[in-house]
Structure 1
């Protein structure tokens, strides 16, 4: 199917995708702009997940300070090349992460980085709370599991709701942003 150049340009403007990627997505979706944008988004997230295992030697150290001067955060965000580190999208990512960290005050970066003794202590606290209300052991464990997930979403950066878009976690936000870089 031949794709109109204006449609390709419009899709590129919407998504930040390259010309050939935009054209291919439009061809695959028979010219449906929204479907093509969604296809590019999914492709970008998959691409970002594939990049996660690569070695990163470049990046930025970015500091955010709130306007009142009493709150701030400094982040180091790494990437593969200095070219990427100089892009506006990458700088925005660094700023948004620092802003989020200063506002949300996460204790850990990833769930895996929470010390096991902290996890066990928190589970025990939730188990004691739930024991007062739960009658069956399987219900007790479901309650504890749910409370642990909620707790992780409060103290683990990558699981926190992004302050600029609470429908996304930081992990989802980062993957989407990386897909556009």
Structure 2
């Protein structure tokens, strides 16, 4: 003989608030669990996981780039979390999940996305939290990539900048100094300015030394093949090509790019001037730039080191 359990509206309401699931799904779960609230919640999680599994094959091309810098500036994290539509990318639950994951990455410093997904977040793993959010929101969600900078030396700081237009781009920068600065806030402000520059100018390399001979040769080959050089004498052609390649590479090297807030000086000169004001020598050790939808793998970052 089957047991019929009376499910009150308040029970359904409480389960909906905790799970975020649809009202009818909450009622069905409570009936199936014979009124046991915790069991009903577990049933919803199981069904949510099944639902999430079905959605996992759907493409995720929207989302957010989120990040965090610790109060002391020693650790910075950058995470790209994807969803299917721009509407969900602006959903409060999705945004909150992204911020939680970025904060967790900054505090626990996982080596890659796989390690991040296994970390505990509010009593469950990040993977489980993502699965539950998929069930609530109804779209596939994935954590695409991660960068964590943990200062290797005591002198220095990190900076973060997230583009204000929908969080589609973000960067973190690590600065190293030869000695401690009197006012860390001043150095942190410089690091944030440089992170903003990275988002705006999108450098490919940190310094000229990071450019491979293969890249340089490829650029030379392209320039040599241009029609306007066909009738030039070899020595003149070589001089023009060298100048063009040098200019092109300078546009892609962070230290040589015109600083976005003052194009009359390069990033290197801007940093040198700021360092002099603070009584230190400063240099950018590395940076990471995430642009939503870039085709990097889950753990890849646009990073360069001196």
TM-score using structure 1 length: 0.63
1:41 aligns with 2:45: yes
Could you tell me which residue of structure 2 aligns to residue 75 of structure 1?
79
- Quote the Cα distance in structure 2 between the aligned partners of 1:92 and 1:35: 26
Pick the aligned partner of 1:157 from 116, 119, 123.
116
How big is the alpha-carbon RMSD for the aligned residues of Structure 1 and Structure 2?
Answer: 2.1
Once the two structures are superposed, residues 1-59 of structure 1 have per-residue CA deviations (whole angstroms, 9 ceiling, x without a partner) of: 55321221111112111111111212222322222111001111222222221111211
Contact 1:72 1:98 survives alignment (8 Å) = no
Structure 1 residue aligned with 2:128: 172
Deviation string, structure 1 residues 61-113 (Cα, Å, up to 9, x no partner) = 11212222332211111101222222222112111221122223233323xxx
1:61 aligns with 2:65: yes
5+ residue gaps, structure 2: 138-306
**1:88 maps to which residue?**
92
Which structure's residues are more often helix, by fraction?
1
CA deviation profile, 1:143-162 (whole Å, cap 9, x unmatched):
xxxxxxxxxxxxx3333x32
Q: Which residue is 1:12 aligned to?
A: 16
Secondary structure at 2:34 match in 1: coil
Aligned partner of residue 67 in structure 1, secondary structure: coil
Supply the distance in 2 between the matched residues of 1:73 and 1:97 (Cα, whole angstroms). 10
Does residue 1:105 correspond to 2:109, yes or no?
yes
Larger of the two Rg values belongs to structure:
2
Q: Which has the higher strand share?
A: 2
Instruction: Classify 1:62/1:18 alpha carbon distance in 2 versus 1 (closer, same or farther; 3 Å).
Output: same
Whole-angstrom distance in 2 between the partners of 1:100 and 1:21: 31
Unaligned 5+ segments in structure 1 are: 111-155
Q: Residues of 2 paired with 1:15 and 1:157: CA distance?
A: 23
Q: TM-score, normalised by structure 2?
A: 0.39
**Alpha-carbon contact 1:59-1:85 (below 8 Å) kept:** yes
- Taking the aligned partners of 2:55 and 2:41, their CA distance within structure 1 comes to 21
